[in-house]
Amino acid sequence: MFDGYTTSELLSIFAMQGFAGLSLFSVFVLMALGLAIIFGQMGVINMAHGEFMILGAYTTYLTSNLFQSYLPSLFSGYFFVAMLLAFVVCAALGALIEWAMIRHLYRRPLDTLLATWGLSLIMQQAYRSIFGAREVGVELPEWMMGAIQVTDLVELPINGLFVMIIALAIALGVYLLMYRSGWGRKVRAVVQNRPMAEAVGINSAGVDRATFALGCGIAGIAGAAFTMIGSTGPSSGQAYIVDTFLVVVFGGAQSLIGTIVSAFSISQAQSTMEFFMSGSMAKVLTLLVVVGILMLRPEGLMALKVRR
């Protein structure tokens, strides 16, 4: 397929393809981190994860409209405000849901699965009633559109770079929070041994609520970031949920590092294969490889060694 191209053309295409892989990686990381925190730390499978992301996207949409009508001079910076708001709104709703629903269902994984799936349907229909069934267009500030011209042939999309930076920042933030803060130590203590953690005075219910809220909040930021590359509609969240679960399960449910490693390998595999074959086939092959590896390593790539 490479006949008739000069070396420099090929090199630049490969450079851009490498960038495409990296930007897919950051999308995966953003999608999966929130879910990994909730799934890994609490054992709750949150089927409404995609809908929380879309809540973040709708928050961005509303913020953008608000800035356009009331603060047009600050429009170019609205996105940062939108991401913050998306986090706050989603975390708040997450905390509310945890309090109203999830906490009654701990240690009943199948029931949580059904309950959060029901929640996702309710949220979708709520979006449909509030924002209409049609997708909404989120307008981006001028500086976020277009590409950076590196050489004649190599063009790097700005929004791809931006998503990458957000993903890195959030991954770093989560790492610091989980492994370098007192709160993170409490979370890990609760995960490893709940009765003992309670015995030493950790408020495990509070930790659960905060963890769930954090996971939802990160989903909200991811949703805000995805308005740059995807659609914002009542059922857009469904487009992400399968990939999200794939990344989290493949990485090993209780390991955040595993999530990152798995996001990296899946995204690289997929984008490389997409280049050499058609999109549908690439997806099928990726899934086959993941299934194969999971058969050999049912715990995922990086299983946490815990006493059972």
Partner 1 sequence: MGTTTTAAGRRPSGTRKGLRGSLWTLAASVMLASTAQAAVPPTPEVNTTGLAVTDDTVKVGILHSITGTMAISEIGSVQAEKLAIDQINAAGGVLGRKIEYVQEDGASDWPTFAEKARKLLRQDDVAAIFGCWTSASRKAVLPVIEQYNGMLYYPTFYEGLEQSPNVIYTGQEATQQILAGIDWAVKTKGAKTFYLLGSDYIWPRTSNKIARKHIDKLGLKVVGEEYYPLGHTQFNSVINKIKLKKPDVIFASVVGGSNVAFYKQMKAAGVDFTDEKPLLLTISVTEDEIRGIGGENVNGIYASMKYFQSLDNPNNQDFVKAFKAAYGDDMVIGDVTQAAYLGPWLWKMAVEKAGSFDIDKIREASPGIEFTKAPEGYVRIHENHHLWSKTRIGQAQTDGQYKVVYETPELMEPDPFPEGYQ
For partner 1, give the closer residue by CB, 23 or 254: 23
Report the nearest approach of partner 1 to the CB of residue 77 (Å).
Answer: 19
Report the nearest approach of partner 1 to the CB of residue 229 (Å).
Answer: 6
**CA separation for the pair 127, 144 (Å, rounded):** 26
Report the nearest approach of partner 1 to the CB of residue 165 (Å).
Answer: 15
Q: Give the footprint of partner 1 on this chain (CB under 8 A).
A: 5, 9, 13, 16-17, 19-20, 23-24, 27, 125, 128, 132-139, 145-147, 149, 153, 155, 157-160, 226, 228-236, 238-240, 270-271, 274-275, 278-280, 282-283
Report the nearest approach of partner 1 to the CB of residue 22 (Å).
Answer: 10
For partner 1, give the closer residue by CB, 121 or 196: 121
Report the nearest approach of partner 1 to the CB of residue 280 (Å).
Answer: 5
For partner 1, give the closer residue by CB, 138 or 214: 138
For partner 1, give the closer residue by CB, 39 or 226: 226
For partner 1, give the closer residue by CB, 255 or 286: 286
Report the nearest approach of partner 1 to the CB of residue 161 (Å).
Answer: 10
Own/partner contacts of 128-133, CB < 8 Å, gap of 24 or more, are: 128/234, 131/58, 131/61, 131/234, 133/233, 133/234
For partner 1, give the closer residue by CB, 118 or 298: 118
C-alpha count within 13 angstroms, C-beta hemisphere, residue 62: 14
